[in-house]
Amino acid sequence: MITRRSWLTGAGALTAASLTPGWAQASRALTQRAPDALTGTVFNLDIARTPFRVDGRRDEAITVNGGVPAPLLRWREGDEVTLNVTNHLDVDSSIHWHGILLPFQMDGVPGVSFPGIRPGETFSYRFRLRQTGTYWYHSHSGLQEQEGLYGPIIVDPAHHDPVGYDREHVLVLSDWTFLSPEALFNRLKTNPESLNFNHRTLGDLLGDMSEDGVREALSDRAMWGQMRMKPTDISDVGGETYTYLVNGKGPDSNWTGLFEPGERVRLRIINASAMTIFNFRIPGLPMSVVQADGQNLQPVETDELQIGVAETYDVVVTPRQDRAFTIMAESIERLGYARATLAPREGMTAAVPELRAAPLLTMRDMGMDHGSMNHGQMDHGSMDHSGHGGQSGHAAMAMEDSAPVTHNHTEGPGVANLNMAPISRLDEPGIGLEDVDHRVLTYSQLRSLETNPDLRAPGREMQIHLTSNMERYMWSFDGVRFTEIDAPIIFHEGERLRVSLVNDTMMPHPIHLHGMFFELVNGGGDHKPRKHTVIVKPGERLAFDVTADEPGDWAFHCHLLYHMHAGMMQVVSVRPGPMDQSGHGGHSGHHQPEPAAMDHSSHSGHGGGHQGHHAPAPEPEPAPTHHNHHSGHHGGGAQ
C-alpha cells in the first residue's frame, strides 16, 4: 500500500475531532442554523498539509484553516466578499467557488481564469453575491480536491427564504483514499480494471443461462468481450479503495445531527467527492426536495435520490418519532457507503441497511437498439416509470430536442464507441435504482420555483459528445483531450443557445459548466430546473439552454476528477459582440477568425492549460441589475 507521507507515524496524538471543523462535528446544541460558520465579508483562508485520521487510521490531508472539510462559509446575498487565500503548500494551489456567479478572473481555475496561487503567496478573491442557496468550494489544482481541499458555502437570502424549516444541517459527502491520488491515477492509466472489484463469475454465467437461455447468455458475454468491457464497469474507483465520509467522518465515526420530534429539518447535501456518485436515502423519512444546485424548486417528495459529483440538493424532512434515523449514502457500484445519523439525542443510532446487490450495465447503456431487446430486470424500454413521477424523458426529447445526432468530431484511439441511437433518460432514476420498491427522484420531475429568467427560444444549437477509450483510460469531449485542443467553445455575449450532450461512453458523467446556470430541457416549459452540473447517463442525449451573459473564459468539464485529469475538459469563451449569423459550423455555430492557439502549459493537474484573456483583476463589482439573474427577493430563480 502506497501511503502519502511516511512521517505520519508521529501524528498519532491527533484525534479525529481535532481536524473536524466545529460546524461538521456532531451537533451539540439545538440551534436553527448550522453552527460555527465563518460569517462576514472578509475571510482569511490558509491552505496547508495537516495530519488527518479517518476512522482511526492515520494519513494527511490538504486542509483549509486546519480542517476537513474546509470551513463553512456563510454569506449574504448582495454583500461583496473578499477572501484572502494563502498557500502554505510547496506546490501551486487554488480555490474554485463552485456554482457562484462572479467575474471570470475570480473563478479560480489555473491556466483558464488566473495563474494559480504559488507557494507562500496570497491571492485575494473579491466578488459581489448575486444569488442564494447551497454551494461549495474546492481546489482546481492537480488532484488536491481528492486530498481534502473542499468545503461548503451557504448564501442566505437578503429578504425572504421560500423554504420553511426549523433547523438545518450541512452534509458534505466525500471519498477518501489512503493511496496517493497520483498513484491511484497511475493505476487507472496502467490498468483501468485494477480498481474494479466487481467481477462476474462462472456462477453468474450459469444463472444467466438458466434465466435467459444458453444462446442469449453466451451472445451477451461475447458482445461485452468484443467491447473489452464488463457490465460491472459502473465506476472507476469504488468502496474497496475508498472510505466514504460525511463531514469528514467515516462510517464508524457516525456523524450525528440532532432534531426535536416534529421539527422541519433542512439538510443541505453536497457531493464533494472526487469520483463517487451516491444514492442518498433516509429509511423511514420521506424527503421534500426544495433546491438543486442552489436553485429553488417546486417541492417534490421522494424517498431516494441519486446525487452526482458536484451536485447539491436541499431536502426538508420532518421526523415525528423520538428515535434515530440512518442517513445512508450508498456508492453507485454498491461496494461501500457513507453513513450518518439524525437523532433527538447524542449517542443514539439506527440500523444501517445492508448494501444492495451490485447493478449491471445493459445494452441500453451501450447506446444500442433500445426498443427491441429484452434484458430481463434491466429492460428500461418496457419499464413503467409512473412510480418515479414526472413527464417521460422520451416525450420531453421528442418535443424539445429533436435535432438529428451527428458525429462530426475527431475519431481515433481515444474514441472507442459511437452512440448512434442516443435517447433521453431524464425520467430514469439512475443506474441501479430502476426496480426499487419506493420513490426515486428523476430529473424529469424537477421544476424551478420561479419562472425562468430568459424565455427566449435558443437561437442556435451545438452538440458535444462525451468520448472515451476506457481500456486506455482516455477521456475527452468530441474525441479531443484537453491537452490537444487548439480553440475554445465559443458563446457570444447575450445569445441564447441550446447545448446537446451525447454520451458515447458507457459510464455516467456529471458535467459542470463554470460561470453560468443553464436550464435543463426536461419538459418543464418556463419552469425548467436551473443547474450548474448534470449527470449524463450512458447512452443518453440530454440538452440544456443557456444564456451567455457572463463574458470571459470558463471551464467546462466532467466532474469525475480523474476523468477531468485525463482530458475530459474544455473552455467556454463568452465573447462580446454580435454573433455572425452566416454560418453554424462546429461548436461556435458561426464563422469567426480563428482564436489564438491555446497554451496548455500552466493548467496544473489537467495536463496543460489555457491562459484565457489575460484580463486584469477587476475593480470591486457593483451590484448587478441584469434581468436574467434575479427573480424575487431571495434570488431563487436567478442563480
pLDDT in tens, 140-158: 999 999 999 999 999 999 9
pLDDT at 20: 72
Edge-to-edge strand ranges of the sheet holding 552-558? 489-492, 569-575, 552-558, 509-513, 533-536
pLDDT in tens, 96-143: 999 999 999 999 999 999 999 999 999 999 999 999 999 999 999 999
- The per-residue pLDDT for range 69-101, each reduced to its tens digit, is 999 999 999 999 999 999 999 999 999 999 999
| Mean per-residue pLDDT, 276-288 | 98
Domain architecture of the chain: domains with CATH: 6-162 (2.60.40.420), 387-575 (2.60.40.420)
How far, in Å, CA of 488 to CA of 113, rounded?
Answer: 13
Mean pLDDT of all residues in the chain?
82
Contact (Cβ atoms closer than 8 angstroms) between residue 481 and residue 414:
yes
Residues 309/215, Cβ–Cβ less than 8 Å:
no
Task: List 125's β-bridge partners, or say none.
Answer: 83
Per residue, what are the HEC states of 387-420?
CCCCCCHHHHHHHHCCCCCCCCCCCCCCCCCCCC
pLDDT tens-digit map of 500-509: 999 999 899 9
The stretch 432-439 carries a mean pLDDT of 95
* Per-residue pLDDT, 288: 98
> Bigger pLDDT: 418 or 521?
521
pLDDT at residue 407 in the model: 60
Per-residue b or e along 323-343, where b marks 16 or more CB atoms closer than 10 Å to that residue's CB = ebbbbbbbbbbbbbbbbbbbb
Rounded (10°) CA dihedral 620, 621, 622, 626: 180
- Could you tell me the sign of the dihedral formed by the alpha carbons of 100, 101, 107, 112, in that order? positive
d(C-alpha 18, C-alpha 605), whole Å: 30
pLDDT band at 27 (very low <50, low <70, confident <90, very high): low
Question: What residue spans of 79-180 are helical by DSSP H?
Answer: none
Judge whether residue 2 has pLDDT over 50. Answer: no
What's the average model confidence in pLDDT over 295-324?
Answer: 98
Which pLDDT does position 438 carry in this prediction?
Answer: 98
Cell readout for 602 is: 500552466
Q: Find all residues with CB under 8 Å of 392, minimum gap 6, and list them.
A: 385, 427, 444
The percentage of residues in the chain with a pLDDT greater than 70, rounded to a whole number, is: 70
Average pLDDT over residues 8-29: 51
Mean pLDDT of the region 347-357: 97
Residue 311 reports pLDDT greater than 70: yes
Short-list 47, 81, 307, 58, CA closest to 151: 47
CA distance 329 to 342: 13
Q: For the residues 466-487, what does the mean pLDDT come to?
A: 93
Confidence of residue 327 (pLDDT cuts 50, 70, 90): very high
The more confidently predicted of residues 309 and 411 is: 309
| pLDDT score at 367 | 59
Tell me phi and psi for residue 266, to 5 degrees.
Answer: -90, 125
Residue 386 has pLDDT above 50, yes or no: no
Residue 554 scores a pLDDT above 70: yes
Burial (CB < 10 A; 0-12, 13-18, 19+), residue 210, is exposed
Across the range 461-481, mean pLDDT stands at: 93
Q: What is the pLDDT, as a whole number, of residue 398?
A: 42
Bigger pLDDT: 295 vs 630: 295
CA distances from 280 to 97, 109, 304, 325, 513 (A): 24, 30, 6, 13, 24
Percent of the chain with pLDDT over 90: 66
391 has pLDDT over 80: no
